[in-house]
Amino acid sequence: MPALPPALPPARLESEPRLARAALAAPVLARAVRLARWANPDTRVGAGGELVDEQLPEAVKELGLSGPDAEAEASEAWRVAVDTGLVEVSDPEEDGEEYGSAAPGEDLAQLTSGSPQDALGLWLGALDTLLADASIPDIEDLDELTGTLEGGGTVDFDALGWDPEEEAGFVDQALLSLYLLTVSEGGSTDTPVPLPALAAAMVVPDDMPEPSDAILEQVSETMVRLDAKFRLLEPSGLLVYTPLDEALLVEADAGEPVEIEDEDVSRYGLVHYTPLGLYGIRERLVEAGLEAPVVGDLAEAGADVLLAGIAEYPAPSVRAELEGWLARREPVAAAGDLLAAAKGEDAEGPVRRLRAQEALELLGAGAEPAVRAVLDDPELGGLARVWLSERGLPDVPPPPADLVFWLTVDTVAAQLAVEGESAELRALVAGLAAQHSGFFEAAWRVKHPATAEVLEAMGRLHPDKRTAKEARKAAFKARSAAGTGAGE
Burial profile 311-332: b = 16 or more Cβ within 10 angstroms, e = fewer = bbbbebbbbbbbebbbeeeebb
Instruction: Provide the pLDDT for residue 148.
Output: 45
Give the H or E element holding residue 239: strand 239-242
Q: How far apart are CA 480 and CA 300, in angstroms?
A: 44
- DSSP per position, 204-221: S-TT-SS--HHHHHHHHH
More confident residue, 1 or 481: 481
pLDDT band of 488, cuts 50, 70, 90: very low
Instruction: Provide the pLDDT for residue 486.
Output: 41
Instruction: Assign 3-state DSSP to the chain and report helix, strand, coil percentages, each to 5.
Output: 60, 5, 35
Whole-model pTM: value is 0.83
Q: What is the rounded average pLDDT of the residues 153-157?
A: 53
Task: With beta carbons less than 8 A apart as the criterion, state whether 179 and 2 touch.
Answer: no
Task: With beta carbons less than 8 A apart as the criterion, state whether 404 and 379 touch.
Answer: no
Q: What is the pLDDT of residues 66-93, one digit of tens each?
A: 999 999 999 999 999 999 999 999 888 7
- DSSP β-bridge partners for residue 103: 88
Q: What is the pLDDT of residues 205-240, one digit of tens each?
A: 877 878 888 888 899 899 999 999 999 999 999 999
Q: What is the pLDDT of residues 386-433, one digit of tens each?
A: 999 999 999 999 999 999 999 999 999 999 999 998 888 999 888 887
pLDDT band of 252, cuts 50, 70, 90: low
Q: What is the pLDDT of residues 264-302, one digit of tens each?
A: 778 889 999 999 999 999 999 999 888 899 999 999 999
Judging by DSSP bridges, how do beta strands 239-242 and 270-273 pair with one another?
A: antiparallel
